[in-house]
Each structure stands twice: as C-alpha cells, then as structure tokens.
Amino acid sequence: MEKQMNSQVIAKQFLHVFEHLHNGSIHSDCRRLLGYELKRCKSSIPNAGRGVFLSGKASAGTPVAIYPGTIFLPGDPSLLPSIRNNYLLRRSDGALIDGKPFGLSRLIFSSCASRNYVDGNIELQDETWLKEEGNTRNPLSIGHMINHRPDDGEPNVMYTEFEFESVPLEYRRYIPHVYYSSHETEEHQLPIKSIAMVAVRDVEDEELFSDYCFIATSQ
C-alpha cells in the first residue's frame, strides 16, 4: 500500500477499541464490534510455530493489531535482550520494540511494568500479551505472533509506525508497551512509540502475514 497512514488516525482507531474494552462491550463480541477477531493458532506454514488468524473481515487500511513489547530508546542497554531475538523491531527513529514473550525480554517487560504505576494502583500498560494462551486484555495486542509471508506469498498486513500522543489514564491499561528507561508521572506522560499491523488489502478469514524486512513510517 503506497499511501502513508496518518499516525493520529491509527491511534484514534485503537483508542476507539479501548473505549469499548473499558465499557466491557468488546470481549464478549469483538467480531460484531470490529467485524473481525484475532486468534493465535498453529501456522499454515510448516514448522513456523504459531501464527495469527483473522476471522471475519477487515478492509484495506484497517489497523488490525498492535505489535507489543518493551520500548528501548537509542542509548538504552538493549544488547543482551537483542541476542538471538527474532521478535525485535526497529523504528525509523531508532527506537526498538522487543515483542519476545519469553526469556530475558519477558522479565524486562514485567520488571519495567511493575515500577510503572501512577498513585500506586493505576496500571499504565497491558502485560497480558505475555500470556502463552487465552485472552489478552486487549485482543489486538498479538502482532508479535504474526509470521513472515511464505516464499510464494504476499503480505496482507504491514508494520506501520505510529504514536499514542495522549491517552486517558484509564485507557493506558490496554496499551501493551512500557518504556525501558522512563519513569512517568501523572503530570508527565510520554508519547508512546508503537507499531500497528495495517491491512494492505481486504482480509477475510485467513492467516495474517507481514514482511519482516519492511516497516512503513506514518505521517
């Protein structure tokens, strides 16, 4: 898809989903509200482990999933978690998003999340994407499980950078990111550097595939 997505448009669409999650109206009927739902299942590619399947329909340009993980800014010590890590994405501004749900990467996310509370009880991120099985708090936080397109196939989703510029505190618990190095306060929140998986064509009842070598920027 040649056209660049607008970062604010992507963030707005996810915030709309968070609003429904907050009202309790989405988990029971994700497919009715969004037109699709995502599941982690054995991939159709032999020996590729699990992948993400979309049931229902999503039209071209829809941000269908978020790539979760710890955000390392340039200068943060990312060497150790980077070793043999196939879940690491680099944005054009140099920030890394580590979506590896196990090993050292998992420990780092949990550890950063545990220090990242406001007033001692408001969660500022969703940690449930680290779960191997079952529902995640945000059903779209499983972009890290999407496989690279097969040799003879085209991607149907594209990594697209965007930022959550300002998010109501009560919705932060649906965002599957934590900064490695920042300490936020209620008065001082950083824009959250994220990556969406955006449909590059109409997608219907199929496994999602990206191209691991290409990340689009947004306006």
Cα-to-chain-centroid distance, residue 180 = 16
Indicate whether 121 belongs to the interface with ligand SAM (CB under 6 A).
no
Indicate whether 49 belongs to the interface with ligand SAM (CB under 6 A).
yes
Supply the DSSP string of 198-216, one letter for each residue. EESS-EEEEE-EE-TT-EE
Shorter beta-carbon distance to ligand SAM: residue 56 or 150? 150
Which letter does DSSP use for residue 144 in this model?
A: G
Shorter beta-carbon distance to ligand SAM: residue 171 or 212? 212
CB of 149 to ligand SAM, least distance (A): 6
Shorter beta-carbon distance to ligand SAM: residue 101 or 124? 101
Report which residue's Cβ sits closest to ligand SAM. 49
Instruction: List CB contacts of 112: < 8 A, sequence separation 6 or more.
Output: 70, 178, 179, 180
Which letter does DSSP use for residue 170 in this model?
A: G
Could you tell me which of 45, 35, 33, 42 has the C-alpha nearest to residue 204? 35
Burial of 76 (0-12, 13-18, 19+ CB in 10 A): middle
Contact with ligand SAM (CB under 6 A): which of 35, 56, 61, 150? 150
Indicate whether 147 belongs to the interface with ligand SAM (CB under 6 A).
yes
Indicate whether 142 belongs to the interface with ligand SAM (CB under 6 A).
no
Shorter beta-carbon distance to ligand SAM: residue 43 or 116? 43
Indicate whether 45 belongs to the interface with ligand SAM (CB under 6 A).
yes
Residues found near ligand SAM in the complex (CB under 6 A): 43, 45, 48-51, 86-87, 144-145, 147-148, 150
